[in-house]
Amino acid sequence: MSITHLLFWILSVTALGSALMVVTSKNLVYSVLYLIVTFFAISGHYILLNAQFLAIVNLIVYAGAIMVLFLFVIMLMNLNADVEPAKKNWLKIAGALAGGCLLLVMVAALKDADYKNQIAQTQNGEIGLIQNLGMVLFNDYVVPFEISSILFLSAMVGAVVLGKKEKNE
């Protein structure tokens, strides 16, 4: 077992394990923290695939900004103490069953796919570098990039409008 394989397994197990914890932990803050762990593991995967830019963006955007936002919301509203009403048992079982079925079916469907022997390049490859991605982003994808700034603007406006206290309250 090469070092790459070893790293892959470690990262995968970390990611899946903490993802399970996200779903199962009773405490909201724990969930958020486990999610951050998951994101770190995923960033590790990106680095393993030599996608350095995405690894950094993932850390900054997800593990940094988004999760902090989650934490803010939880803290500000003091949701920590809020006891979540338990779902009906049979619904939980049905949910788990549905997810399991989906996993089973997809795995069964994809295990014989044509490209199953193809290799994803790890540790090498230049396309994940900021320079190469930037060239393509600002040449071919400059219009979607600009449009995404408009998307952010409207999301910002939407968040402000939604979060504002209504006057008649």
Question: Closest distance between another protein and the C-beta of residue 84, in Å?
Answer: 5
Question: Closest distance between another protein and the C-beta of residue 87, in Å?
Answer: 5
Question: Closest distance between another protein and the C-beta of residue 38, in Å?
Answer: 7
Amino acid at 9: W
Considering the complex, state which of residue 99 and residue 167 has its C-beta at the smaller distance from another protein.
99
Which residues, at least 6 apart from 30, have a Cβ–Cβ distance to it below 8 Å?
A: 21
Amino acid at 23: V
Q: Which helix (H) or strand (E) holds 30?
A: helix 28-48
- CB atoms under 10 Å from CB of 45, counted, come to 20
- Interatomic CA distance for residues 41 and 86, integer angstroms: 30
Question: Closest distance between another protein and the C-beta of residue 141, in Å?
Answer: 6
Q: Would you give the distance in Å from CA 133 to the centre of its chain?
A: 21
